[in-house]
Each structure stands twice: as structure tokens, then as C-alpha cells.
Amino acid sequence: MNNKEKINLIRDFKALRPITEKASEVIAPPYDVINSEEARMLAENKPLSFLHISKPEIDLPKDIQFNDPLVYQKGAENLQRLIDDQVLLEDKEPTLYIYQIVIKDHIQTGFCSAASVEAYDNNLIKKHEHTKPVKEEDRIKNINALNAQTGPVLLTYPDDEKIDSLINDVTLKSKPIYDVFSDNGSNHKIWIIENNGIVRKLLKSINSLDALFIADGHHRSAAASKVKATRQKANENHNGNENYNYFLSVAFPASQMKILDYNRLLLSMNNHTVESILDQISQCFDVTKNQEQIKPKHSKEFGMYLDGHWYQLNFKLETKTFGPVDSLDVSILHDYLLEPILGIEDERTDETIDFVGGIRGLDELERRVDSGEMKIAFSLYPTSIQSLIAVATADQVMPPKSTWFEPKLLDGLLTHNIV
């Protein structure tokens, strides 16, 4: 019997969650999409905001480091305060939850569960990115201090009619326990599944999948694995059923996932002039100067903003023999332009490159170049969810900042205690 048959991908759990009437006061954006100053502003005069737990440095002196032990201690204190004040209550019985996000004409509906660290460790919950040790260590300390996972890992899975049918059965026949709006206008609804029969059917269907795929949350899942290993070693009565063997997750079907472009800005032109850059680029790309902003309409097309002008770049080489990683637009831009022409060897560590999520638009690229802060910008076509799954299935990793998922999940609605 192989690992896929023996290891379940998920299980039900008892969520720690806000009382309904306080949910709108508790919700917060994910900890990793805002900085400390933005968090301070958002949480001002909002004592119940989950930012006091996910970004607890906002309640400490401004010069404190994000990974100071006092930060984690403060987060634990703030979480306990909301529990003591009965703003957050833990469900009495384990179950699964349905999570729906609506923004404009986009709707995605999936499930929230406790995902198996064992499945993650055995690559049945598949990765597509490397993690940074500093960020991973921060999440480990955060989880250990809180004894909880507060930020869900975003997962995806191939569309499955049986899972869709069970989810629809819940959303059509019952009312959500939460119906709240985030700062960007996205509507977040959560249903609790009270029918044990549907919970069992959903668990069976989901655990019959070959794999789940991490879309966003590689540091959170990696940290959960490290925490589990440490706690297992310290627990002589470990049996595998402890909450620390699982991590908080929300999963949506692949067809409903929305990926935006993840664009690049460079601080240096690597001693090139405008003319020499254009000459070098033209060896592998067709270059067309354009009066309008270039928002690529298909794969292998790029926009470049340089010296107050936009250029459309179309990759000229045949890509049929490229592998799942080599064929990504982010890889093509790196391999044929950023590294050989502009000297960017490692986008993870090079401090002369910055990344801007497509949610900020192309005006942000123009603004930062025109201000003199950056020298050159590139706009990309979004990576497809099919490409992500292909890379993860091949047990390979994408270049950094390949995907920007939107809309984002909220922090504070569902938390997973690990004790």
C-alpha cells in the first residue's frame, strides 16, 4: 500500500473563531501583505482587530524588531485577551467549514480544514516555492508562542464534481455564520457544516484526491512541519492525533483560483544605456515601442517601462522543448533578459530587484521609475494555475514571486489551536 492510500490529506477540527456580532471588528488582512506601519493605521481605535495578534509589534515601541521575543509574547497575550473576553470561542465539536469569497464578478468557494503535516512531509500536499529561513523561523516562533495557527495556508485542487456538489449542498441549504467585507471590498462568507454525514462524505472525497497543492503559504506550512517535529520529539506519548500534526488551510478548486501578474522593478541598468539594452534584448525578443501601457495579453509577451517609454517584448524562441519551470514567463524573463543583460543572478537575494503585485496596477511601475527610485520595470502575464500544478507535480519549484493570488483570505475568522 503506497503513501497516497495510507495518508489522509485533511481532517475536521474545532475552530477558534469570533462570536458572530464581533466578526467585522476582528477580521484583518493577512499578516504578510502589509507592513507594521500600515498595520498600526488599520488597527487604530480597533481593540478587537486581529492585527494585535498577527502583527503584535503595533502594540510595542516602533523601533522594535519584528522577531523580538517581546513581539511573540505580546501576540500571545492579545490572543488570550480575546479568548478571556469571550470574543473568540472554540467550537465544541470538530467539523469542516465552507469559505466563499466574492469580489466584483469573481466567486470562489472551497473548504477550510486541518491539513495533514504528514501528507505535507510526504509531498502529498505539494510545494512550488522555496522558503526563506528568516521568514520560516518567524512563523515557527509565532505558532509556538500562540499555540495556534492563525493564518490559513491557501491550497488548491483539481476540480471535482462530488466535492462541488457537497459544498453547494451546504451553501444553498443553510445560512453562513459570517458575512463580512474586507477593506478592499471583497465579501467573505463562512458556513459551518453541522451535518455529520456531509462532513464524512466531504472528508472521504477530499482524502481520495491524489494531492493538494499549496498556492500561498509556504512559510506557514513549512513552519507547521518544524513545530510538529519538535513537539513530537518532546512528547513521549505522541500518537499522531494531536492537533500539532495538522495546519490550518483553506482550499479552492483550481478553476476558481485567480492569479494576477507579479511585476518586476530594477534599481540598476547594469551599466547599460537605453540603446544598448534595446540592442541586447532584440536578440531574443521582438521589441516594439508603444505609446500606451503594456499589460501583456498572453504568455510570452512582456511590457518594459524605461526612460519614460513603454516597449512591448515578444519572446522569439521556440518553447516546445522547455520544461514546466523553463517555460514560465517569469523564467523566460529571468533567463533571457534579467540575468544575461541586467546581471540579476538570484532574484531571491539580489537587493536591486523589487516585486509589485498586479493588484497595484501599471501606474505603480511608472510612478517608481519616473520618480528616479527605480530604473526599469517589467510587466508580465499572470502565471496560470495549470502551470503551478504542473511544476508542483514535477516536484520542481518556481522562481520567486511567480504568483500573486487575489482575493486574499482574511485572518481572524478561523484559527486552529495546536494544543
Express each pLDDT in 309-366 by its tens digit: 999 999 999 877 889 999 999 999 999 999 999 999 999 889 999 999 888 899 999 9
For residue 69, pLDDT over 90 is answered with: yes
Contact status, residue 374 vs residue 265, Cβ threshold 8 Å: yes
pLDDT band at residue 3 using 50, 70 and 90 as cut-offs: very low
pLDDT band at residue 82 using 50, 70 and 90 as cut-offs: very high
What gap in Å lies between CA 316 and CA 300, rounded to an integer? 9
Cis bond upstream, residue 158 (ω within 30): no
Q: Which residues partner with 405 through β-bridges?
A: 259
pLDDT tens for residues 163-175?
999 999 999 999 9
What gap in Å lies between CA 94 and CA 74, rounded to an integer? 29
Q: Greatest CA span in the chain, whole angstroms? A: 68
What is the pLDDT averaged over residues 60-80? Answer: 96
C-alpha cell at position 214:
499549496
**Residue showing cell 518544524:** 226
> What is the reported pLDDT for 400?
84
∠ Cα 370 374 377 (to 5°) = 85
What gap in Å lies between CA 324 and CA 388, rounded to an integer? 9
For residue 1, pLDDT over 70 is answered with: no
Q: Are strands 246-253 and 153-157 parallel, antiparallel or unpaired?
A: parallel
Mean pLDDT rounded to a whole number for the chain:
95
Q: Taking the domains of the chain in order of start, what are their residue ranges? A: 3-258+406-417, 262-381
Architecture per CATH, domain 262-381, reads as 2-Layer Sandwich (3.30)
pLDDT tens for residues 99-122?
999 999 999 999 999 999 999 999
For residue 4, pLDDT over 50 is answered with: no
C-alpha cell at position 93:
465539536
- Which whole-number Å values give the CA distances from 90 to 17, 29, 299, in the listed order? 6, 21, 46
C-alpha cell at position 357:
503585485
For residue 368, pLDDT over 60 is answered with: yes
Contact status, residue 160 vs residue 209, Cβ threshold 8 Å: yes
pLDDT band at residue 224 using 50, 70 and 90 as cut-offs: very high
What gap in Å lies between CA 129 and CA 397, rounded to an integer? 5
C-alpha cell at position 202:
466531504
> What is the reported pLDDT for 5?
56
Q: How far is CA 77 from the centre of its chain?
A: 26
Residue 147's region, left for phi above 0, alpha for psi from -120 to 50, else beta, is left
User: Which has the closest alpha carbon to 92: 173, 207, 14?
Assistant: 14
Instruction: Give the number of residues written for the chain.
Output: 419
Crossing angle of the two packed helices 161-173 and 196-207, in degrees rounded to 10: 160
> What is the reported pLDDT for 319?
78
